[in-house]
Structure 1
Amino acid sequence: MTKSIITALACMALVSGTHAQQSGLLRVKADEIMAEMQPTMYGIFFEDINFAADGGLYAELVKNRSFEFTDPMMGWSQPATDRHSLNKNSGSASVLKPTREHNPRFCRITVHDDEKYHLVNEGFRGMGIKKGETYRLSFSAALKEGNITGVRFQLTDTTGQVLASTSVSPDSTGWKTYTSQLVAGKTVPKAQLKISFTGRGTLDMDMVSLFPANTWKNRANGLRKDLVQLLYDLKPGFLRFPGGCIVEGRTLEQRYQWKKTVGPTEQRELLINRWNTEFAHRPTPDYYQSFGLGFFEYFQLAEDLGAEPLPILNCGMACQFNTGELVPMDELDPYIQDALDLIEFANGTADSHWGKLRHDMGHPEPFAMKYIGVGNEQWGPEYIKRYKAFEKAIKEKYPEMTIVSGSGPFAEGEHFEYGTDELRKLRAEIVDEHYYKPPAWFRDNAGRYDSYDRNGPRIFAGEYAAQSVAIASPENRNNWECALSEAAFITGLERNADIVHLTSYAPLMAHVEGWQWTPDLIWFDNLRSYATPNYYVQQLFSLNKGTHVIPATLGGKALTGQDELYATASLDRNTDDIILKIVNTSGRQRQQEVLFEGGNVQSEGSVTILQNDDLQAENTLNTANVTPVEKEIEVRNNKVNIALAPYSFSVVRVGRK
C-alpha cells in the first residue's frame, strides 16, 4: 500500500473514527477574544549559510566571477586540450590587482595558441542548466595587445558535450561591458562554462557572469524563481535578514556591512563567508559573499513577499563564539551611524543622501521599514551597554522605529537570564529568543509563554528548530518527529500572541551538496528544490493564523500536552472563519469532539492534515512523504467529530453563519 493511499484512508476516518480512543469535549469559544494576532506572527529568517545566497537564492551561475576570492583563480581552471597536461605555451591566465577601490582584481589572459587554450568555470557544485531556457551572459573586457577577435562561451556537460554556445567580438582597448545569450539544448545538473578565443594576444577580463533569464519576476541578474516561490507560498509576515551570526563576523573586520552591499554590483566589496570553515565536518573554503544579493535586494524581496523588512545590524561586537572582538564605547559612533543611515536608505526621501541611492537603484518610493534589530546573539554587560547607545540614538531621530534586541543564543541559563532581566529594566520593545533543542524540549515547552510577564517586552522567537541528534550535528534530520514537535510548540506561541509577536524557523535554506548546518527548512540542488515537513508545519500555521486568538479548552484548560494533545484556536475576521489547530503527538488514533461556542457555524468546513505513521519520515528531492491533505467535514449542531490520526497535525476551518 502506498503512502498516499495510507494518508487518504487516514483522512476518510475523520468523521467515522469508530475505533479511535474518545477524548473529552474540546470547546472553542468564538465570542471570547484573548489577543490580537500580529500580521508579523509567522515570518522567515534568511542567512547566507548552506550556500543560501551565492549558489542558491542569488541566481548567478559563475563562481568567483570577479576573481576576488583569496585564491583569485578558485573556481577557474585551465584544462589541457589533450587531457594530459596543459601546454604552457598555449596560453596563461594571471590575476592582477591594480589600485582600484572596489573590485580591484581582474584576469589577464594571454593566448598563444587559440586552438588549445581555454578557461573553465565550475559553478557552484556545477551549473544547473535547463533545456530550452535562455541564459544571459555578461562580462567586462579590455584588449591589450595582439589580434584576439572573438571570445566564445560554451556551456558543456561533464563529458565535454556542448549544450549552448555564443561568441562575442571585443572591440575596445578600454574596459567595456559585453552581453549575449545562450539557449540550452539539454537539461544538465552539473554543467560548466568554457571560454575559448579566436586569435592571439592579451585580453583583460572581469565580472564574468551568467544568469538564467527566467528569474523571479524576470528581473535581470535576479533571484532563483523556484526558491522565491517557496518563500512566497509561506505568506510570511516579515523577512529577517541578513542573519544570524553572519552579521557579527568572526572578527569585526569580517562583519557584515550593509553599505558595501548596495550600489552597482560590480562595485560591491566581496567578503569571505564566516561559515566557510566554521565546522570541521563541512569545510567549504570556496564559500564567499559576492553581495549580488545585498540590502537593496533584501528590501525588494520583502516587498515582493508582502513581508515587513527586519534588518539586523552589527552592534560593535564580533561573534562571541569566535573572537568576541569589541569596539570601544568611545568608537561606537560609526556603527550607530550605519543604523541611522540604513533607516534613511529604507525610508528617506529621494533628496536625502541615502534615500537618493535607493531612488537611483530603481525604487523611488520608501520601503516603509518599521523594525530594526541591534545585534544578533550577543550576551553580557557589553551588549547591554551597546544596545542602550543604539536605542538612544535611534529613538531620538526615529521615535516611531521599533527596535529588536536579543537575549543571546540560549533559551535559558545565566546569559539568558541576565539579558532578559536587563532588557526588561530598559523597557525594551521586542526581545529575540533562540532555541535549538531536542524534539522533546519543544513538546515540553508548549506552555513556555503562558507565565511570561504581560507588562514586559514582546517576544520574537527569532531562531528555532528541533535538532534530531544535537545542536550543529551533521547527523540532524528534517524528520517528522522534529516537525510535529515544532507544531506542538507553535500552538503555545500562537496561544500567547499577546506577547509573542514574531516567529521564524532557522536556518531557511541549504544546498544538498554545500550545507554546513542541518536541519533546514528548504533544500535544493542546482535544478530542483523541496519543502521539508517542517516547512509544511510553518506554512499551515502562517496560512491559518487568523486575526484574533480565542480559547480552545478541554476540561476548562488549554491543551499544552495533556494526553499528548496540543491545540490553539483563532478567529479570522477577514473571512469570518473559526480556525482550530490541533496536534496529536501520540501513536494512537483518537476521536475528538469539538464544540464551537459563541454563535452558529456553517454545516460544512474543511480540515487539512499533515501526518505520517513513521516519525523518521522525511521529504527529499525525489519523494514527498509528508505533505498536507485537505478534505471537507460535516458540522452538526455546532459540533464536529475529528479523527486525529497518530502523529498528526490538523487544521480545522469552519465558517460562522
Structure 2
Amino acid sequence: MPDFQPDTMNAAVDASAARRISTDLWGIFFEDISSSADGGLASELVQNGAFEYSRADHPDWSNYTAWRKLVPSDSFATFGIRTVEPVAEENPHYARIEIRSVAGGPVGLENTGFDGMVFHAGEIYRFSIWARLVSGEAMPVRVSLVDDDGEPVSDAELSVTSRSWTKYETTLSVPSSTDTDNGLQEGDNRRIIARQGTLRVLFQDAGVMDVDFISCEPTTTYKGLEHCRPDLVQALDELHPRFMRFPGGCITHGLGLDNMYRWERTIGPVEHRPHNFNVWGYHQSFRIGFYEYFRLCETIGAKPLPVLPAGVSCQNTSQGPVPIADEDMPGYIDSVIGLIDFCNADPETNAWAAKRAAMGHPEPFGLEYLGIGNEDRIDPVFEDRFRRIYDAVRAAHPEITIVGTVGPDPSGRDYDEGWRIARELRIPIVDEHSYRSPSWWFHHLDHYDHADRNGSRIYLGEYGSRDTRLINGLAEAAVMGRMEANGDVVAMASYAPLFCKNGHNSWDPDLIYFDNERVFPTYNYWVQRMFATTTADTAWPVVVEGDVLFRRELPRTVGLSVTGGASADLTDIVVTTESGERVELPDIAYRGNGPVVTGLALEADSYTVDMTVTYHEGMWGVQVHTGDVNGPDHNVASFGRSFELQLVREGCGSTLAGTEVSMDMVRPGTVWHARIHVADRGADMALEIDDRPIVAGREVADEPRRTVAVARDSAGGVTYLRVVNAMADPVSVDLSQVLDALDVPVSSRAAATATVLTADDPYAGVHGEEAPTRPVERPCELMSGMYEAPAWSFTVIAVG
C-alpha cells in the first residue's frame, strides 16, 4: 500500500507589505434583544416593579404582570392602579392597596421576577419601595425572599409612616452556610439557594396605601459596577473589547417616533426614565440606560460607541420609516450634540455635563466615536436628515469620529447609496452589516482585500455566521483573520447579537447565552476572545498554497416546502425535471404557518418550479424551499419584501442574489407568475416573474477552508500566527518562510505557545448551551517552521 500523504499548505508574506492596522479592531455590540437588559444584564430581580407593563408590551400583559396578589381566607383587600399625583409623571402608574381586614393573615404582593429569582448564599440584597399612606397612622410591611416551597429564606421589616411619597429601603441577608431549616442548597462554587424563588411584600394592618417602584438587587458587583449582573459583565470583560456599541440595532430608531431611543430619557433617577415597549416584543425599563452603558464601558476598558437615530424611525414596518418633522430637527440636533457634552464637557460650564456629575461621575467619559443611523433605508429623506446631523456635529465637535451607515447587507441599493453619501461627505467610518452562512464567509474571504484605502474606513458593526457550531466559529475565525490583514481599512468589528436569555430568543445565534444562574459561552465567543486577547498593530497579507480548497457534494433530491412570516396563496405549482418528469402539487394557502412540506420527492440535477404567488400581507415574505429541503444543503426563493435567491449550506442560509423591493410598492393582492430555475443540484439559480428575468446567481464550487493570518503586537514584541483548518483532516502548515521573512529569532521559535480551539465534530455546539470544548494552550516548538493543525481547528500561535 502507498504511504499516507498528509495534507500540506505553505504560507508566505512579503515583509515590505506590512500594514499598520487599527488597534480598536475588536469590540462588542450590546442591544436589548432577547431579554438582554431587564432580566439579563440588569441586576434588578423585580419584574414590573413600576407597574408600567401594558398591552403595548404584550397582548396578555397588564399593570400587574409578574405580580401575584396574596389575600388569605377571612382577609379582605383590593389592588387597583392609579395615576393621580404619581412619584414620577414619566411613569405615572402605581398600585393602590386597600386593606379592610387581615383577620386571616397579612395580605400582599409577590413578584415572580424574570423566570423566577435566584438567591445566592451569603448575598445581601438591597430592597426599596416608594410608598405613601392614604389612611391610617403607620403601616408595617414585611419583606421576604421566599424559596420554591414558599418558605422565607430572609426577612426584613419596615414601616410606612408618611402621607407623601417616600422611598423606604432595607436589606435582606441570605445565610452563607448550609441550613436545611432555611432550605439552603449547596450548589457549585456560588452555593445557589432558593432556585426560582420570589419576592414577597406583606402588608400587616388594615389601611390604604400606594406603592410604586419596588426594587430588589444583589449588592455584589463586578469591579464595583452597580446595577449590572456580575457574571455577565465578567464574560464581557474577559473578551477584552476595545469598544462597545450601544443601544442598537433596531432599538436605536425604534418602531415609530414615539419608540425612538432618546438617550436623554435614559439618564438621571430611574423613576424619571420613561418606560417604553421594546421593538423585539417586550418591555424596557431603561434600568441600563446611557449612563450605565458608559460606566460599563469604563469598567471593562472599552471605548464607547453610542449610536443615535439619523432622524428617521425604523423602516421595518409596512408603512416604512417616519422622519422627525423638519421643525423639530433643530431640537433633535441639539440633543445629539448634548450627548457629546454629557460625555465630555466640563460640569462647571455645561448643563449636560452637570447631569453627569450629579449622577456621580464628574470626570469626562472621553467619548471618541459617535454612530448616526442603523441599517436605514437610504432614501432622500434619510440623506437630508443625516446630512444635517452630520454637518452640525462636525461643526460643533470636529474631534468626534462619526460612524455612518450603509444598510443591512454588504450589497444592494442601500449599500450603494450609503457608500455614495459616505464618499461625498467624507464620513470617517461607515457601519456595514453582514449575517451569512459559513459557506458564504469562506467564499468571500477577500471581501475587504480590494477596499478603497483612500475612502471611508469600515466598521463591520453586526456580523455572524448564523449558528453556534464549531464550523461557524471556524468560518468567523477565517474572515476575522482577513479583516485583521485589512485592518488599515477595516477599523472596527463586532459580532452580533451579544446576549440571549434562554427561552427568550428574538434572534439566533448569539455570542453568549445565559439563564438566571449560568452563562453559556459559544464557539463564536471563544473565537472572538482568541482574537481580542491577542490584539496587534501590524499585519501582513498572507499567500497560502496547497490543500486549502473544499468542494461540496450536493444532493440530487428534489423536494418543496414553504416557510416565512407573510401570508400568500401559492397556486398552479408545477415541478419539471430536466428529463421531462412533471409533477403538479396541491395549492397552498400559506398564512405564516410554516413549514408546509408538500411531500414532493424526486431525483434530478436540474429542474424548474412554476407557480402563481398571490401576496396578502406580512413584511418578511414567503420562502419557497427546493431541493433536499430536509437536509443541510438546499435552495430558497423568497417573495415579498424582495425577490431573493438563497443558498442553504450546512443548515445556514445566505443570499445568492436579490433585489430590493420597498414594502410600500407591494400591495395586498399582488400576483406574481413565477418560475424558479435550479441547475447543477442547486449551485445555479434564476428567478423569472411573468416570463421576465429578475435575478440569477451561481455558486462558486470551491471554498477556501484553510487559512493563515499573521499579525504583530509591536509594543509587546509578539507575533501571532493564526491558522484555521475547517476540514476533516489535519494539515501540515509550513510557516518557515513567514518566520524568516519577519526575522523571528530562533529562541522565540523554540518557546512559542499555541492556543487551540478544536473538536472532533464540526457541528458540535447547540443554541443556548455552552460550547462542548474550549481553547487549550500548549507549547508549540517551531524550530522546523512546521505546525500540524488538527482537523476542525483554529489555532493562535504566539511567538515572542
In the superposition, the TM-score normalised over structure 2's length comes to 0.73
User: Who is 1:190 aligned against?
Assistant: 196
Q: 1:122 to 1:444 in 2, by over 3 A?
A: same
| CA positional deviation for 1:398 | 0.7
8 Å CA contact 1:28–1:594 kept in 2: the answer is no
User: Residue type of the partner of 1:92?
Assistant: T
The whole-number CA distance in structure 2 between the counterparts of 1:635 and 1:517 is 43
User: Who is 2:323 aligned against?
Assistant: 326
User: Who is 2:777 aligned against?
Assistant: 630
| CA positional deviation for 1:20 | 6.9
Q: The residue matched to 1:392 in structure 2 has which SS?
A: helix
The whole-number CA distance in structure 2 between the counterparts of 1:77 and 1:462 is 42
The whole-number CA distance in structure 2 between the counterparts of 1:231 and 1:445 is 29
The whole-number CA distance in structure 2 between the counterparts of 1:424 and 1:584 is 38
User: Who is 1:543 aligned against?
Assistant: 533
The whole-number CA distance in structure 2 between the counterparts of 1:616 and 1:529 is 21
User: Residue type of the partner of 2:337?
Assistant: L
User: Residue type of the partner of 2:209?
Assistant: L
User: Who is 1:640 aligned against?
Assistant: 785
User: Who is 2:624 aligned against?
Assistant: none
User: Residue type of the partner of 2:53?
Assistant: F
Alignment of 1:274 onto 2:271 = no
Over aligned residues, Cα RMSD in angstroms? Answer: 2.2
Alignment of 1:3-402 (within 5 A): 21-28=6-13, 31-32=15-16, 34-70=18-54, 71-81=62-72, 90-99=76-85, 100-114=88-102, 115-146=105-136, 148-185=138-175, 186=184, 187-220=193-226, 222-276=227-281, 287-322=282-317, 323=319, 324-351=321-348, 352-381=350-379, 382-402=381-401
Alignment of 1:567 onto 2:573 = no
Q: 1:580 to 1:28 in 2, by over 3 A?
A: farther
| CA positional deviation for 1:464 | 0.6
Q: 1:527 to 1:212 in 2, by over 3 A?
A: same
Q: Write the deviation string for residues 258-285 of structure 1: whole angstroms up to 9, x where unpaired.
A: 1111111111111111111xxxxxxxxx
The whole-number CA distance in structure 1 between the counterparts of 2:30 and 2:785 is 40
Uncovered stretches (5+) of structure 2, i.e. residues with no partner: 55-61, 176-183, 185-192, 551-701
Q: The residue matched to 1:135 in structure 2 has which SS?
A: strand
Alignment of 1:505-524 (within 5 A): 505-524=495-514
Q: Write the deviation string for residues 155-185 of structure 1: whole angstroms up to 9, x where unpaired.
A: 2233312222211122222222111111235
Q: Write the deviation string for residues 221-260 of structure 1: whole angstroms up to 9, x where unpaired.
A: x110000000000110101001110011111111111111
User: Residue type of the partner of 1:191?
Assistant: G
User: Who is 1:531 aligned against?
Assistant: 521
The whole-number CA distance in structure 2 between the counterparts of 1:562 and 1:652 is 24
User: Who is 1:611 aligned against?
Assistant: 758
The whole-number CA distance in structure 2 between the counterparts of 1:573 and 1:619 is 38
8 Å CA contact 1:33–1:548 kept in 2: the answer is no
Q: Write the deviation string for residues 400-442 of structure 1: whole angstroms up to 9, x where unpaired.
A: 1111000011111122122212322221111100011122111
Moved more, 292-301 or 67-76: 67-76
1 or 2 for the larger relative contact order (CA 8 Å, sep ≥6)? Answer: 1
Q: 1:563 to 1:413 in 2, by over 3 A?
A: closer
| CA positional deviation for 1:624 | 4.2
User: Residue type of the partner of 1:182?
Assistant: L
8 Å CA contact 1:529–1:621 kept in 2: the answer is no
Moved more, 643-652 or 186-195: 186-195
Q: 1:239 to 1:340 in 2, by over 3 A?
A: same
Q: Write the deviation string for residues 299-335 of structure 1: whole angstroms up to 9, x where unpaired.
A: 1111111111110001221110124112244432222
8 Å CA contact 2:10–2:546 kept in 1: the answer is no
The whole-number CA distance in structure 2 between the counterparts of 1:128 and 1:162 is 13
Q: Write the deviation string for residues 444-471 of structure 1: whole angstroms up to 9, x where unpaired.
A: 111100111111110000001112xxxx
The whole-number CA distance in structure 2 between the counterparts of 1:145 and 1:450 is 74
User: Post-superposition, which runs of at least 4 consecutive aligned residues in structure 1 deviate over 4 A?
Assistant: 555-563, 619-624
The whole-number CA distance in structure 2 between the counterparts of 1:610 and 1:364 is 43
User: Who is 1:460 aligned against?
Assistant: 459
8 Å CA contact 1:50–1:510 kept in 2: the answer is yes
Q: Write the deviation string for residues 26-81 of structure 1: whole angstroms up to 9, x where unpaired.
A: 2356x545222222100000001111111011100001111122221111121454
The whole-number CA distance in structure 1 between the counterparts of 2:115 and 2:770 is 22
Q: 1:138 to 1:318 in 2, by over 3 A?
A: same
| CA positional deviation for 1:619 | 6.0
The whole-number CA distance in structure 1 between the counterparts of 2:540 and 2:338 is 41
- Select the structure that is richer in strand: 2
Q: 1:19 to 1:122 in 2, by over 3 A?
A: farther
Q: Percent identity?
A: 34
| CA positional deviation for 1:600 | 3.6
User: Who is 1:483 aligned against?
Assistant: 473
8 Å CA contact 1:530–1:620 kept in 2: the answer is no
The whole-number CA distance in structure 2 between the counterparts of 1:188 and 1:625 is 28
Q: 1:348 to 1:106 in 2, by over 3 A?
A: same
Moved more, 378-387 or 31-40: 31-40
Q: The residue matched to 1:62 in structure 2 has which SS?
A: coil
Uncovered stretches (5+) of structure 1, i.e. residues with no partner: 1-17, 277-286, 468-476
In the superposition, the TM-score normalised over structure 1's length comes to 0.89
8 Å CA contact 2:126–2:217 kept in 1: the answer is yes
Q: 1:438 to 1:143 in 2, by over 3 A?
A: same
User: Residue type of the partner of 2:279?
Assistant: R
User: Who is 1:599 aligned against?
Assistant: 743
